[in-house]
Amino acid sequence: MNAELREDVAALEDTVRRFTLERIVPNVERWEEAGEVPRSLHREAAALGLLGMGYPEALGGTPAPYALRNALSVAMSRHGGSGGVMAALFSHNIALPPLLRHGSEALQREVIPPVLRGEQVAALAITEPGGGSDVAALCTLARREGDEYVIDGEKTFITSGVRADWITVAVRTGEPGTRGSGGISMLVVPGDARGLERTRLAKMGWHASDTGQLRFDAVRVPARYLVGEEGAGFRMIMGNFNGERLAMSAMALGFAEACFDEALAWARERRTFGTALVEKQVIRHKLVDMQMRIHSTRAWLDAVTALADEGEIGI
Ligand SMILES: Cc1cc2nc3c(=O)[nH]c(=O)nc-3n(C[C@H](O)[C@H](O)[C@H](O)COP(=O)(O)OP(=O)(O)OC[C@H]3O[C@@H](n4cnc5c(N)ncnc54)[C@H](O)[C@@H]3O)c2cc1C
């Protein structure tokens, strides 16, 4: 990382730390209980440029390397942005990249700017009740009828699925009943489309993020909502997963740092048998071991991020 980028990272970390401590931490428990974050949080994050990082200026974003985007994720998760808040706030970062890379200019202009302004929410729907890892087996069907696609099927575990104004949906446009990576396409579906039924799922954590079950019953969307070419969806999805993996790794690193910060603070504060916990050799070993694992994770993340910024990873 060169000196200029290091300065940008430090400035961004400071902005994100302040935003997280002032705007998220005082409210996070309430939002986790309510099961969602307010729309106003999206607008506040957008005003600081946090939603638009990595998107072109012409669409309302700020071009930024992965090094900066990851710094945002690490800093927010380290300073108190819960996994649920972050999933809710940033679900567009898995929903929009396929459009950005493969969508028509008109589709990009319709969908992306209002999301980056924090006025609308975007979600990505790939997983189905029949299975998630095996993307080539998805069977939600979209058949072409004139200038429209008609979608039938079901999706599950969709982050922001119930609140989303736009959902990037993986569908099978090939022959019904076929499987395999060919014949998968990506369509953008408005959240209020007729025939789309959305139900919230209960889950063990990430409560501030809505996780939805979607049922498509003859949902019609204009054919211009197709992202890229028909049948090219599988490669788009695989590339998109790489970007998501990078962001999730950055979040995991930030959460590990938060755990270390709290463990160290408690070990300094808590006294047993006449001394603070941190004075005990076994506790010091444990803390050093945590710190070593955090440092090696950061080194790995930095190395992979550098490869992504050099264009060496298909995203
Ligand atoms: C909180 C949350 C949010 C999510 N958000 C989204 C979202 O926004 N959009 C979306 O599309 N999906 C989302 N998902 C779904 C997620 O991507 C899937 O859960 C994931 O792809 C795994 O699919 P599955 O749950 O069907 O598990 P399965 O595919 O049924 O796998 C079950 C287990 O078997 C293992 N396994 C599978 N195949 C193999 C293999 N070949 N070899 C060895 N082990 C294997 C898996 O690792 C897993 O442990 C979300 C899930 C959660 C929990």
Q: Is 202 in the pocket of ligand 1 (CB under 6 A)?
A: no
What are the tokens at 277?
């916990």
Residue 142: exposed, middle, or buried by beta-carbon count in 10 A (0-12, 13-18, 19+)? buried
Q: What is the pLDDT of residue 150?
A: 98
Q: Is the CB of 67 within 6 Å of ligand 1?
A: no
Pick the residue whose CA is nearest to atom 18 on ligand 1.
132
Give the model confidence (pLDDT) of 10-58 as tens digits.
Answer: 999 999 999 999 999 999 999 999 999 999 999 999 999 999 999 999 9
The structural domains of the chain, with segments of one domain joined by +, span 3-116, 122-231, 235-309
**Per-residue DSSP letter, 128:** B
Tokens 């108190």 map to which residue?
Answer: 80
Return the CATH superfamily for domain 3-116. Acyl-CoA dehydrogenase/oxidase, N-terminal domain (1.10.540.10)
pLDDT in tens, 201-242: 999 999 999 999 999 999 999 999 999 999 999 999 999 999
With beta carbons less than 8 A apart as the criterion, state whether 41 and 89 touch.
yes
Q: Reply yes or no on whether the pLDDT at 177 is more than 70.
A: no
Which is it for strands 122-125 and 166-172: parallel, antiparallel or unpaired? parallel
- Per the CB < 8 A criterion, the answer to whether 197 and 152 are in contact is no
Give the CATH number of domain 235-309. 1.20.140.10
pLDDT at residue 95 tops 90: yes
230, 52 Cβ separation under 8 angstroms: no
DSSP state, 140? -
More confident residue, 114 or 178: 114
Ligand 1 proximity of 186 Cβ (cutoff 6 Å): no
The CATH fold of domain 122-231: Butyryl-CoA Dehydrogenase, subunit A; domain 2 (2.40.110)
Q: Which of 190, 183, 60, 65 is nearest to 125 (CA)?
A: 190
Report residue 176's pLDDT band, with 50, 70 and 90 as the boundaries.
low
Q: Determine what percent of the chain falls in helix, strand and coil, rounding each to the nearest 5.
A: 50, 20, 30
| CA gap 137, 180 in Å, rounded | 6
Q: What is the mean pLDDT of residues 275-302?
A: 98
Cβ(132) to ligand 1 under 6 A?
Answer: yes
pTM attached to this predicted model: 0.95
